Amino acid sequence: METNHRYDKDYEKQYEQHWKKLQQQLKRENMEGFRNEFLDMHSYDQAMFFIEQKKSIRLQIYTYLSPEEIADIMESIDEEEQTRELISEMDPRFASMVLAEMSADNAVDILNEMDKDHIASFLTIMDTSAADEIKHLLHYEEKTAGSIMTTEFIATYKTNTAKQTMQQLKEQAPDAETIYYLYVLDEDKRLVGVLSLRDLIVAPEDTRIERIMMEKVVAVSAGKDQEEIAQMMRDYDFLALPVVDFQDHLLGIITVDDIMDVMEEEASDDYSKLAGVSDMDKPNDTALISVKKRLPWLVILLFLGMFTASLIGRFEETLNQVAVLAIFIPLIAGMAGNSGTQALAVAVRGLANGDYGKQGKMKLVLREASTGFINGVICGLLITLVIYVWKHDIYLGVLVGISIAATLFVATIAGALVPIFMDRIKIDPAVASGPFITTINDIISILIYFSMATLFMKYLI
């Protein structure tokens, strides 16, 4: 641990030194010195230095680096919106050259953030072969296999020998996204097998590929949802996954680094919905844009809150007779919200990961019901004891204790059932957001609490 910690500090110190030297070279307008220092850094560090600079400095850097070198920087930046802004500030011809040097799938991700006029302009200026490849990927719907696949893969024919394929690999490897898998085609260019790099290396040179390939190929259609693909990659531990059309012609591959981006995107999307936001705020969003994203949910929750208030108003007479009941409203409503949110998080995560089949969902509901019942009984007994010691009123303690027990039981079941129901009707389970389920459970808890209070009224007065 000490060695790793020391290494981290040494690396940070080295990074800071690079940073200072780069700024000095830029001030001196020393292009050769800047290039030597900059290209010696890791591509991620290059990207971090680049995006921290003012636009005027970045415009200077564009004149020092080639389109290929700038493309490497663009591919190390995770945010498509940020890369779109950087591409937009470049000279259009230089930007088109940068996009052409990038992996086609990454270039498409950036172009998808732009309006159609900009896309058409870049594709017109761009090298024809690169433009055709990008146009092909732009036709696919967003968040599908076709939109995230790359066409930079290595495919060979089953009739080729290991020697021929190895020679082909040497020629095509520099431009391929990955070389760990080679995809095998028949004479009609249909995907019939997959070959690992290890099997190719150890095979005798005169061995035909069809004898060493694996015939059981797991592939996905171009229209398959990216979230389902992420689950497949996780389940099968693939480094890449082929994408085919309805006749099994190989269209492209999806690599594990693309899936990591998908998982981050889906997690961010689910988190924003759980927080009651239609889309996560971006660092450059204005206040009005943030309002547009958050206000719809707040308005819905406002009206649900008014319903809760009107529900309390129906029990105004009960409150007037026993004012002490008001003390415990936040406690019961808060406990209901907490318990429901816990069950909601478990259900949404399981559904997102594909952990539950039809039987699994029923098992989840039963487990959450049992959990809610046990938690409710324990919390109910504890609060009954606390209130008896505090207020010296056993009936008030029993009232609140029973209300807590019933509320936790019902709220936990609701937290599990709501996302399952939404999944059943083909709505994203994450839409059953934390604020939404909390408000619903507020209504349930208030109804239970005051109904019980009405029954206990003769003992409380």
Distance in Å from the first CA to the final CA of the chain: 65
Amino acid in the structure at residue 136? H
Question: What CA–CA distance (Å, rounded) separates 108 from 84?
Answer: 11
Question: What CA–CA distance (Å, rounded) separates 68 from 70?
Answer: 5
Give the phi and the psi of residue 249 in degrees, each rounded to 5: -75, 135
Answer yes or no: is pLDDT of 276 > 60.
Answer: no
List, for residues 119-173, the tens digit of each pLDDT value.
888 889 998 888 888 888 888 888 888 888 988 899 999 999 999 999 999 999 8
pTM of the model: 0.59
CB 397 within 8 A of CB 324: no
Query: What pLDDT is attached to residue 329?
Result: 85
List, for residues 308-363, the tens digit of each pLDDT value.
777 777 777 777 777 788 888 888 888 888 888 888 878 877 776 666 665 678 88
List, for residues 188-206, the tens digit of each pLDDT value.
889 999 999 999 999 999 9
Q: Which of 438, 371, 375 is nearest to 405 (CA)?
A: 375
Question: What CA–CA distance (Å, rounded) separates 261 from 241?
Answer: 15
Order of strands across the sheet with 220-221? 220-221, 240-244, 250-255
Specify the length of the chain in residues: 461
Question: What CA–CA distance (Å, rounded) separates 132 from 122?
Answer: 12
Domains located in the chain, CATH noted: 2-143 (1.25.60.10), 155-270 (3.10.580.10), 287-460 (1.10.357.20)
Question: What CA–CA distance (Å, rounded) separates 182 from 165?
Answer: 9
Q: Which of 137, 124, 54 is nearest to 92 (CA)?
A: 124
Give the phi and the psi of residue 155 in degrees, each rounded to 5: -125, 145
What does each C-alpha distance from 129 to 66, 132, 138 come to in angstroms?
20, 5, 14
List, for residues 359-380, the tens digit of each pLDDT value.
678 888 889 999 999 999 999 9
Answer yes or no: is pLDDT of 382 > 90.
Answer: yes
